[in-house]
Amino acid sequence: MSADRLSTTLSALADPTRRAILARLALGETTVTELAEPFDMSMPAISKHLKVLEGAGLIARGRAAQWRPCRLEAAPLKGVDDWLDDYRRFWEQSFDRLDAYLQTVQAKTSKTSKTFKQSKRQKVTKHGRKTR
């Protein structure tokens, strides 16, 4: 019993139904019935998924009459992001090489290399890499 926090978070996220639930909750707090609505699945099944998400600290549940409103708790996701940090350089690195290569190619087929100067305000490269 009781795997480490990150393992619990990741295995909670590994299920597409649970990720869809989180996506819905990103739009705002809602009830179990409304959360269940898009899925071709029984209520108890949804209830179990919510329990898993709650166990991972990814949602919190309140109480309002017979409803149990759920809301997103994103804190554990930061744990995933932090873990990813150690690996970020691996995919950014390869894109950097690709960028360099593409610039070389473009420099050869173009009259002036100034055409390819990037704006300093640009936040994301064409390969979807974030600036940090």
**CB of 17: closest distance to DNA in angstroms?**
5
Q: Is 53 in the site for a second copy (CB under 8 A)?
A: no
User: Pattern of binders to DNA over 66-95, x per CB under 7 A?
Assistant: xxxx--------------------------
Task: Annotate 46-82 with DSSP letters as a single string.
Answer: HHHHHHHHHHTTSEEE--BTTB--EEE--HHHHHHHH
Return phi, psi of residue 33, to 5°.
-60, -45
Element spanning 107, H or E: helix 75-109
Rounded CA-CA distance 128/122 in Å is: 11
> Out of 5, 47, 110, 118, which residue is the one contacting DNA (CB under 7 A)?
47
Among the listed residues 13, 49, 72, 76, the single contact to DNA using CB under 7 A: 49
Among 15, 113, 116, 127, binds DNA (CB under 7 A): 15
